[in-house]
Amino acid sequence: MSECIQISFAVCRIGMYTCFRALCCKGPPPARPEYDLVCIGLTGSGKTSLLSKLCSESPNSVVSTTGFSIKAVPFQNAILNVKELGGADNIRKYWSRYYQGSQGVIFVLDSASSEDDLETARNELHSALQHPQLCTLPFLILANHQDKPAARSVQEVCLIKATALCLSCLLTFAAMLESEKIPVVGDMLVILFCNMKPKFFLENRKPISI
């Protein structure tokens, strides 16, 4: 009888020790991986508004970027450090100075812009896709302002070669600046930049046809 009691006490002690370890000795959760991205596009394409939405900032605080800004966009599985570059004519020529260290590219275009602006955006995207520091990186193309009456569909944007230039797996995504749509954009960012490997993009590159 006493032996059974001793065994019972031993089992209880082991159980209590296990519970204590689980409650008090659990280490901190592993750090989320961080990725450095560059966000480019013409002035008025909606880069600043998009990033502000992702960071849950007030729309009243949005000011168009004239040089560059950096935002840390937190997600459950990763943190994206996004460097946004201004899209004015006198700034775009300096974009390449900020490409170093980037692990992915977000290109935002205004799907409701004029034909001339869309052509300019196409040329800028073409240059970015060919740049030595970006050519092997995953690109996310956002056809923004889909809520405007004059907005072109993603299919129309692709047909005029504004986005589908030279990556067989280039991803085009329609983004509306509505709060309920923003989490979807964020999920797409994490999926693309956390799972795509530069070697995959390099091996699947197609010749550029303009």
Q: pLDDT (tens digit, 9 = 90+) per residue, 37-79? A: 999 999 988 888 888 877 777 766 666 666 788 888 887 778 8
Say whether 41 counts as a known binding-site residue: yes
| Model pTM score | 0.71
Say whether 65 counts as a known binding-site residue: yes
Cβ atoms of 79 and 32 within 8 Å: the answer is yes
Say whether 49 counts as a known binding-site residue: no
- HSE-CB for 201 with a 13 A CA cutoff: 22
Q: Which domains, ranges and CATH numbers included, belong to the chain?
A: 34-203 (3.40.50.300)
Within a 10 A sphere around the Cβ of 149, how many other Cβ atoms?
Answer: 5
Say whether 47 counts as a known binding-site residue: yes
Say whether 145 counts as a known binding-site residue: yes
Cβ atoms of 182 and 167 within 8 Å: the answer is no
Say whether 144 counts as a known binding-site residue: yes
Say whether 77 counts as a known binding-site residue: no
Model pLDDT for residues 108-138, shown as the tens digit of each residue: 888 888 889 988 988 898 899 889 999 888 8
Say whether 37 counts as a known binding-site residue: no
Contacts of 203 (CB under 8 A, 6+ apart): none
Cβ atoms of 110 and 117 within 8 Å: the answer is yes
Cβ atoms of 100 and 83 within 8 Å: the answer is no
Say whether 44 counts as a known binding-site residue: yes
